Amino acid sequence: MTTIPNARTWQPGGWQDGIKLSLDLHGRIKDTVHGGTIRQRVVPGIANLHSHAFQRAMAGMAERQSRDEDSFWSWREAMYHFAQRLDPDAMRAVAAQLYAEMLEAGYTTVCEFHYLHHGPDGTPYDDPAAMSRALIAAAHDTGIRLTLLPVLYMSGGFGGQGLEPRQQRFAHDVDGYLRLLETLRAEQSETLRVGCALHSLRAVPEAAMRELLVALPGDSRIHIHIAEQVAEVEQCVEHRGARPVQWLLDNAEVDARWTLVHATHLDPTEVVALAGSGATVALCPTTEANLGDGLFPLREYLDAGGRLGIGSDSHISVSPVEELRWLEYGQRLVTRRRNIAVGADSPSVGETLLRAVATSASASSGHEVGLLQPGHFADALVLDVRAPQFAGADDDDAVDRWIFSGNRNLVRETWVGGRCLAENGRHQRADSIAADYASAVQRMLAD
């Protein structure tokens, strides 16, 4: 069957004229057929490589000064307090609202870095996978493609400190965590993959990390927060004798299955070594700016041939365009130059960044996505070429106009596996999902 409209389609090599996508019954592309010149433009759906779904409901609630020098660590206090309010029903409603917003904006796959496993006091639910199943249900409700990444969280710091009472709902030992993974992996499907997440080096002791990595199935995607904060780097050097990224590269077989989230604070040796590992760095510019994390060394990493993608993390913004735009703008501010993220094969910032996220999506998510070619799923965005921003656009600047021409949503249709889930920038179930979300948040804040 052919369901994606005949269109001028963007691939990492550039625009191709009049492409029809022939799909199998699972929404996977069997073949591409060239037709005539078509004005309509289609780009691959974007993979969101890092999400904490519950934080969507607290966006804007941590923007009042709580101490003289607010930082990531004071924001974390507000996040912990808010996290105590969620149960599986609220998680499903909040995640569904987020996932609908993602689809409207152009994200078609989400990697959910999930650590709210138990009840607020750390007591497991009758179904130990209840919170995970709430996220799976939200993905099903909206149609987004999901990579669920249950998080292993064991200690409160590099010194092996025990978890605080409010962190107990995150906790597993290695055996319990592996049982959770086994339960969830049995439910994998064309739209659901289950990977593994280490919360961070400070939260997973070295021996536990080694035990886990030996036990994981060989196809598992592995994600980890790393080198996000200067304090984290300093503590890692103090306790493990090396900077976080260097320590990880020295003590694990980091390869294309791995995604390192943030990796903000790298020295030049780490930049080259990480790029050479084949791992993906998941950058979350709006959250990294919101939390005051710092800026990733983007130009040096691109020069070393590194692979990268984007995520919306805390969801103070749910827009791939904004993440890509600020990935570039942060570099301009620190270098006082323009057009930083370009490659030898393209002078276009927009196309260089779109190529980066398209070519990392499959390795990081475990789904065959990111490229509109045979063997990949037909996850695609139809751009609104009728919008004023595209007036007179040609192949040289169409992607740049999409990313750098303002805040109007220029995604007219969002397709996942050959199904159109959002039209004219609106999810097909937007009203009912929003009503459930409003009810859930009001109930949470009233408690």
User: Rounded to the nearest 10 degrees, what angle do helices 244-251 and 268-277 cross at?
Assistant: 40
Tokens representing 125 are 């639910």
Q: Considering the candidates 141, 293, 313, 436, report the single residue annotated as catalytic.
A: 313
Which of 206, 213, 114 has its CA nearest to residue 160?
206
368-372 CB contacts, 8 Å cutoff, 24+ apart: 368/28, 369/44, 369/45, 369/47, 369/108, 369/109, 369/145, 370/44, 370/45, 370/47, 371/11, 371/12, 371/44, 372/9, 372/10, 372/11, 372/19, 372/21, 372/29, 372/32, 372/42, 372/44
Which of 396, 311, 391 has its CA nearest to residue 53?
311
- Catalytic-residue membership of 26: no
Which of 47, 77, 136, 142 has its CA nearest to residue 377?
47
User: Rounded to the nearest 10 degrees, what angle do helices 320-335 and 349-365 cross at?
Assistant: 120
Our measurement of the distance from residue 333's CA atom to the centroid of its chain's CA atoms, rounded to an integer in Å, reads 24
- Catalytic-residue membership of 262: yes
Neighbours of 318 (CB within 10 A): 24
Q: How far apart are CA 114 and CA 280, in angstroms?
A: 19
Expressed in angstroms, the distance from the first to the final Cα of the chain is: 50
Order of strands across the sheet with 29-34?
29-34, 14-23, 7-11, 41-44, 380-383, 411-416, 419-423, 426-427
Q: Considering the candidates 223, 225, 262, 367, report the single residue annotated as catalytic.
A: 262
Q: How many helices (H) does the chain have, and how many strands (E)?
A: 14, 17
- Inter-residue contact 353 to 403 (CB < 8 Å): yes
Residue numbers annotated as active site = 262, 313
